[in-house]
Amino acid sequence: NAGVTQTPKFRVLKTGQSMTLLCAQDMNHEYMYWYRQDPGMGLRLIHYSVGEGTTAKGEVPDGYNVSRLKKQNFLLGLESAAPSQTSVYFCASSYLEADDRSFMMNTEAFFGQGTRLTVV
Amino acid sequence: RKEVEQDPGPFNVPEGATVAFNCTYSNSASQSFFWYRQDCRKEPKLLMSVYSSGNEDGRFTAQLNRASQYISLLIRDSKLSDSATYLCAVSVRAGGFKTIFGAGTRLFVKA
């Protein structure tokens, strides 16, 4: 059980290049997220998905696109990279479970190890 | 205004001190609450979930105040190994759920 795996771990891009970050989870989680982390900014939600075939915008979606064609994979695309997209990117997944009143609640997020992206 | 805000920090404390972190959230549709610990250049890891009744795990105590929309984390008898960044997170119902993090508070525990 590998948990959440991100590919690649490191990448350097030139301005204007495109790339796709892959996130794979083997825990059968419904929810998947992409965050970026910059110094002093904490984790900011880029896009998220509540299930296969669905995506939604987070706090900072501009310049990114995502796809969730398979439940276990969540792809983050940069169509035309900019230096402002230099960051550490984290993928995470979670699932729903019932609380003591049988309400469905979101669990904690399980994180991948991160991708360090530098755009020059 | 960010949906989740934390004390800006950093906190510098001696070993053995008690330190408290506070976090406020703005969305009343927030359902689940968490504290994470993040070490330098690593992914965040769950420290504890926060329940309405408050919960304790050894030296760590988390509390939730829904009326005032804040959560807190108390660390007693700080250890050098507690030095890290502490992130609060809130899961918000929004056509499903989304999980939003605060900016984190850096803690330095010194001998």
- Encode pLDDT of B12-52 as tens digits: 999 999 999 999 999 988 889 999 999 998 999 999 999 88
pLDDT at residue A93 in the model: 96
**End-to-end CA gap in chain A:** 36
Residues B23, B70 contacting (CB under 8 angstroms)? yes
Which residue in chain B has the smallest CA separation from A44? B101
DSSP A41: T
Task: Kindly report, residue by residue over A75-112, the tens digit of the pLDDT.
Answer: 999 999 999 999 999 999 999 887 777 777 888 999 99
Q: Kindly determine whether residue B31 and residue A44, on different chains, have CB atoms separated by under 8 Å.
A: no
pLDDT at residue A98 in the model: 78
Q: How confident is the model at residue A1 (pLDDT cuts 50, 70, 90)?
A: low
Residue B1 pLDDT > 80 = no
Contacts of B103 in chain A (CB under 8 A): 40-42
Q: Kindly determine whether residue A108 and residue B46, on different chains, have CB atoms separated by under 8 Å.
A: yes
CB-based contact, B95 to chain A, within 8 Å: yes
Contacts of B34 in chain A (CB under 8 A): 108-109
CB-based contact, B52 to chain A, within 8 Å: no
Q: Which residues contact B63 (CB under 8 A, 6 or more apart)?
A: B50, B54, B71, B72, B74
Residue B88 pLDDT > 80 = yes
